[in-house]
Amino acid sequence: MPGSVLLIEDEPNIIEAISFILSRDGWRVDTHSNGIDAVDIVRQKAPDVLILDVMLPGRSGYDILRDLRDDPQTADLPVLMLTARGQAKDRELAERTGANQFMTKPFSNAEVLDAVRALSAA
């Protein structure tokens, strides 16, 4: 059964698209668009799945994820990282930082939905 997703992304069209697909599938979607206070927002919202953009205003998704993995409260949170850069080094850094899945923009609606479903079931 779908739960809650927190989407931390700064591009309005991506926020709208992902929110729409997930909401239509029954997920409750909260959004946030900057990196400065993202860790606090994750703690407040306590989502079942986090979708985290790599490049955010104020702080990178990698730095945010490092903080989340260092905190016992959020260490096991399933995280899907999104990036516009899909080079191997970006994927490796995401994996080393603790991302559960990594997706390159542009992506299909089905890819996002499948990834969120898989992460919530894990």
- 35-87 pLDDT, tens digit each: 999 999 999 999 999 999 999 999 999 999 999 999 999 999 999 999 987 78
pLDDT tens digit string along 3-29? 999 999 999 999 999 999 999 999 999
- For 105, 119, 120, the CA distances from 48, given in Å and listed in that order, are 22, 9, 7
Instruction: Find the helix or strand (DSSP H, E) in which 111 lies.
Output: helix 109-121
Which one, of 88, 17, 78, lies nearest residue 48 by Cα? 78
Block residue for tokens 């029954």:
26
For domain 4-121, the question of CATH label 3.40.50.2300 is answered with: yes
Domain borders along the chain are: 4-121
The rounded radius of gyration (Å) of the Cα atoms in the chain is 13
For the entire predicted model, the pTM comes to 0.96
From the list 106, 111, 57, the residue with the least C-alpha distance to 80 is 111
